[in-house]
Amino acid sequence: AQSVTQLGSHVSVSEGALVLLRCNYSSSVPPYLFWYVQYPNQGLQLLLKYTSAATLVKGINGFEAEFKKSETSFHLTKPSAHMSDAAEYFCAVSGSSGTYKYIFGTGTRLKVLA
């Protein structure tokens, strides 16, 4: 069985500060892991994905995430927050075999303070 936990439904950071959004997963098979961003009343946009290659994954808009198997974590970071980063972020896990089904976390809403 697979599951995803996103710690913190709301996170606030100052503009220019480090962004850290937490994601922990459980999976009985080697996982594929994803981060998506959603702006109000829009669909989800892929930020980055881990598919068993490099453990440090770089994505769009300056975001990156590190896969840590020992900690079952895939936290999303950005060195310097921008006002345009304010959105909701979702972590998802999929098994590396079988169907392409995802399990999504409940999301973290990021607020960027001027």
Q: Closest distance between another protein and the C-beta of residue 65, in Å?
A: 15
**Does 90 contact another protein by CB under 8 A?**
yes
3-class secondary structure for 51-75?
A: CCCCCEEECHHHCEEEEECCCCEEE
Q: Closest distance between another protein and the C-beta of residue 82, in Å?
A: 23
Round to whole Å and give the CA distance between 98 and 102. Answer: 11
Among 64, 72, 86, 107, binds another protein (CB under 8 A): 107
Residue 2: name the closest of 32, 38, 22, 39 by CA.
32
Binding site residues, another protein, CB under 8 A: 9, 32, 34, 36, 41-46, 49, 51, 90, 94, 99-102, 104-107
